[in-house]
A and B are shown apart, each in its own frame.
Chain A
Amino acid sequence: MLIILLKAIGLGALFAVALALVVAVIFLLVAFVSMGWVALRQWRDIFSLDRWTEVMVTIGRSKLRTTLTLISVAWGIFVLVFLLGLGRGLNNGARHEFARDAVNSLMFFANKTSIPHQGYDVGRRITLDNRDYEAAKQVDGVDHISGQFFIKGGFMGGREMMTKRGGKANAFQINAVHPDAIYVKTSHKLAQGRFLTDTDIVQRRKAVVIGQGIAEYLFPEGIGPIGEWIEVANVPFQVVGVFTDSEGQENERQLYIPVSTAQLAFNGQDHLGMLEMTVGDASTAESKAIVDKITAQLAERHQFAPDDVQAVRVRNTVEQFERFSMIFFMISVFVVVIGLGTLAAGVVGVSNIMMIAVKERTKEIGVRKALGATPNSIVFMIIQESVFLTGIAGLIGLSGGVFLLDAVGKAKLTDFILDPGIDLRIGIAATLFLMAAGALAGYFPARAAARVNPIHALRDQ
């Protein structure tokens, strides 16, 4: 009963809004048609130099009115342009930040259980292994996949190891991975040689792919590093490839070795610390399904509760990206709403000024009429003035906004704003919109004033 009532109210409100919109549209149509009729009768005035001189003289000598109109329109357009541009900058920034990692990747980190299961207590450490990798590889929707083995005893929880060549030695991040890792780290780009291959894995070759930063550190004399031998954690490896990274030098200070070689050399049996994979263009729901499937496999093999989210921690960038995209989308919407609000305020401001201006000019209109002006010519003159003024002001606001956006873009204040800018068509459309609003706001009072018999107005002191 209540629901039906609410629905009825909802429908009623919807109907009222629709009706109001229809009325507004009809009103605007009628207004523009009648304004267009005046314009059609007076079109010669558009090309009359004398008329424009008259308009310029009026605008130039009514400084307060002119200034107010200019400010209100220019400000509206300026804020609109700036906000829209900033919104776009935020969006670009967010996208760029996420481009660093593949936005379609899933990661599974082995951890400790948190739910008792099949007689096991909580806090049991789970260790992934090569069979998990093989099983996950078969799951539908998994595109590229790599396991990673963390070497025990290194710095940073086994991720950094001493790397040496001759007298040069330093700690670098070491990744023991499968060949597909190059597809998961999307910011890497192979500069020389090759990445790891299946043969490297099968034959447990001592092959290493190093970052540009390491190459520069270990080979300062400019020898090509390909084919050279270096020592990683006291084990000699032959350099087979060099990669660069689009995200900066920090990411070039790491190296990749075959996971099988690392497991053998560093006493890792068939253990893996992490599985990492891409899922093509899977949607959030599809990515979650894949996560569930792999988690279920792992739970069965390693005997932990399927709903234990601590045993194997999952990072799903598809879901994260969607969440962040949503946030930035909401920000964009918010910015657009504010921009439209500003535009609406501009419309109201222009309308107000135009109405007051025409009111103020009742006497002038009376004089012109008494001296032989037709009402249409008076109305059109006022429209010409308002359109000209709002046009100029729009241009000022537009260029001001674009200029400021450019400055903000160049200043690079934060990574979250990248290449702010607007579609110039939107700016021009907004300006035209304000011009139309100004013309319309001037049109009605001007028409009313031009119709009134002026003697009364002229008798006012």
Chain B
Amino acid sequence: MLRLEKLNKYYRVGTHSLHVLRDIELEVADGEFVAIMGASGSGKSTLLNILGILDDYESGEYWLGDTLIRNLTEHKSANYRNRFIGFVFQSFNLLPFKTALENVALPLYYQGITRRKRNQIAGQYLERVGLRDWAEHTPVEMSGGQKQRVAIARALIAKPRLILADEPTGALDSETSKQIMDLLSEIHQSGITVLVVTHDAEIASRTQRTIRLKDGKVMSPSDLLSSTSHPSITIPAVT
């Protein structure tokens, strides 16, 4: 599905150059359910940016399917984001002035599908996440769990091959979190690759595999061993 080879990313901060991702080697197979864990500042969000084709990188290679994702035109990268990747965010990021139905239908707008057609498809996806009756409600009127379901329906509507979920349960209580993870598992079982970024070990345990990031590096099993024998003080992410 996707493969990162010796990928490096720097941020320029004033005159300094911050090395955020160091020689990242990563492979995710088709249909896998993977968690990426790491503390704040470990490079999680940068990695997510790159995987989501929202940011470029300095060296190395990022293969999505058979395509090398590098120096794409804005038009191409927008097209890839639209058709291959579905995003799920911690803070849902629904457009507040649109109804649930319109929010779900938005990716199809950027595919040039007519309003009528896309609203019809959006209705089906809302049904799939159990919110058919909430189609005409705006996000303000919905609970956190409902909003995340709408967001998941939106991520699915363009039939992507990869779902990128950034702390999808970070703003939800444990019961709702469980339901959302059930939904993500269900999506995974339908054959879509799901990548969840989290700092919650419990969430990570629901996936098939966990990749740990620390200081911009993917930690090998030996690193893991040393870190568990000497538990360091970790500051929980406040995002």
Q: Does B79 contact A (CB under 8 A)?
A: yes
Among B109-117, B121-129, B219-227, the stretch that binds chain A is B109-117
The reply to whether B239 and A459 contact each other, CB–CB distance below 8 Å, is yes
Q: Does A364 contact B (CB under 8 A)?
A: yes
* Shortest distance between the CB of A424 and any CB in chain B (Å): 36
**Cα distance A460–B45 in the bound complex, in angstroms:** 12
The reply to whether B166 and A372 contact each other, CB–CB distance below 8 Å, is no
Please, how many residues of chain A have a CB less than 8 angstroms from a CB on the other chain?
29
**Cα distance A369–B75 in the bound complex, in angstroms:** 11
Which residues on B sit within 8 Å (CB–CB) of A373? 78, 110
The reply to whether B45 and A50 contact each other, CB–CB distance below 8 Å, is no
Task: Output the nearest chain A residue to B79 by Cβ-Cβ distance.
Answer: A372
The reply to whether B102 and A57 contact each other, CB–CB distance below 8 Å, is yes
The reply to whether B49 and A455 contact each other, CB–CB distance below 8 Å, is yes
Partner of B107, one of A61, A363, A372, A374: A372
Task: Output the nearest chain A residue to B75 by Cβ-Cβ distance.
Answer: A374
Task: Output the nearest chain B residue to A372 by Cβ-Cβ distance.
Answer: B82
Residues 85-114 (chain B) with a chain A CB within 8 angstroms: 87, 89-91, 93-95, 97-98, 102, 106-107, 109-111, 114
Residues 357-397 (chain A) with a chain B CB within 8 angstroms: 363-364, 366-377
Q: Does A456 contact B (CB under 8 A)?
A: yes
Q: Does A453 contact B (CB under 8 A)?
A: yes
Task: Output the nearest chain B residue to A370 by Cβ-Cβ distance.
Answer: B87
The reply to whether A372 and B78 contact each other, CB–CB distance below 8 Å, is yes
Which residues on B sit within 8 Å (CB–CB) of A371? 81-82, 87, 106-107, 110, 154
The reply to whether A453 and B97 contact each other, CB–CB distance below 8 Å, is no
Task: Output the nearest chain A residue to B158 by Cβ-Cβ distance.
Answer: A372
**Cα distance A270–B151 in the bound complex, in angstroms:** 107
Please, how many residues of chain B have a CB less than 8 angstroms from a CB on the other chain?
35
* Shortest distance between the CB of A357 and any CB in chain B (Å): 12
Contact A57 to B106, CB < 8 A, known contacts A370-B54, A376-B74: no
Q: Does A454 contact B (CB under 8 A)?
A: yes
Q: Mark B162-203, 1 if CB is under 8 A from A, else 0.
A: 000010000100000000000000000000000000000000
Q: Does B28 contact A (CB under 8 A)?
A: no
Q: Does A186 contact B (CB under 8 A)?
A: no
**Cα distance A370–B166 in the bound complex, in angstroms:** 13
The reply to whether A461 and B91 contact each other, CB–CB distance below 8 Å, is yes
* Shortest distance between the CB of A461 and any CB in chain B (Å): 5
Partner of A455, one of B52, B97, B102: B52
Q: Does A54 contact B (CB under 8 A)?
A: yes
Q: Using a Cβ cutoff of 8 Å, how many contacts connect chains A and B?
A: 80
* Shortest distance between the CB of B20 and any CB in chain A (Å): 12
**Cα distance A54–B82 in the bound complex, in angstroms:** 18
The reply to whether A57 and B98 contact each other, CB–CB distance below 8 Å, is yes
Q: Does B149 contact A (CB under 8 A)?
A: no
Q: Does A249 contact B (CB under 8 A)?
A: no
**Cα distance A281–B154 in the bound complex, in angstroms:** 80
* Shortest distance between the CB of B115 and any CB in chain A (Å): 6
The reply to whether A367 and B95 contact each other, CB–CB distance below 8 Å, is yes
**Cα distance A377–B158 in the bound complex, in angstroms:** 19
* Shortest distance between the CB of B136 and any CB in chain A (Å): 13
Task: Output the nearest chain A residue to B103 by Cβ-Cβ distance.
Answer: A367
The reply to whether A54 and B48 contact each other, CB–CB distance below 8 Å, is no
Which residues on B sit within 8 Å (CB–CB) of A53? 115
**Cα distance A166–B83 in the bound complex, in angstroms:** 107
Q: Mark A420-461, 1 if CB is under 8 A from B, else 0.
A: 000000000000000000000000000000000111101111
**Cα distance A368–B166 in the bound complex, in angstroms:** 16
Partner of A366, one of B93, B107, B114: B93
Contact A372 to B74, CB < 8 A, known contacts A364-B95, A455-B52: no
**Cα distance A53–B114 in the bound complex, in angstroms:** 11
Q: Does B55 contact A (CB under 8 A)?
A: yes
Partner of B78, one of A58, A366, A369, A458: A369
Contact A458 to B91, CB < 8 A, known contacts A57-B97, A372-B81, A373-B78: yes
Q: Does A62 contact B (CB under 8 A)?
A: yes
Which residues on B sit within 8 Å (CB–CB) of A459? 45, 89-91, 166, 239
* Shortest distance between the CB of A226 and any CB in chain B (Å): 82
The reply to whether B78 and A456 contact each other, CB–CB distance below 8 Å, is no
Partner of A453, one of B55, B74, B89: B55
Which residues on A sit within 8 Å (CB–CB) of B239? 459
Contact A372 to B91, CB < 8 A, known contacts A50-B115, A454-B54: no
The reply to whether A460 and B91 contact each other, CB–CB distance below 8 Å, is yes
The reply to whether B93 and A458 contact each other, CB–CB distance below 8 Å, is yes
The reply to whether B78 and A374 contact each other, CB–CB distance below 8 Å, is yes
Jot down 8 A-B pairs with beta carbons below 8 A, ordered by A: A58-B97, A363-B93, A371-B106, A372-B83, A374-B75, A453-B55, A455-B45, A459-B91
Closest 9 CB pairs of A and B: A372-B82, A61-B97, A372-B110, A374-B78, A371-B107, A453-B55, A370-B87, A455-B49, A453-B54
Residues of A within 8 A of B (CB): 50, 53-54, 57-58, 61-62, 363-364, 366-377, 453-456, 458-461
Beyond contacts A57-B97, A453-B55: 10 other A-B pairs, Cβ-Cβ < 8 A, are A50-B114, A53-B115, A368-B106, A370-B54, A370-B81, A370-B87, A372-B111, A374-B74, A374-B78, A455-B45
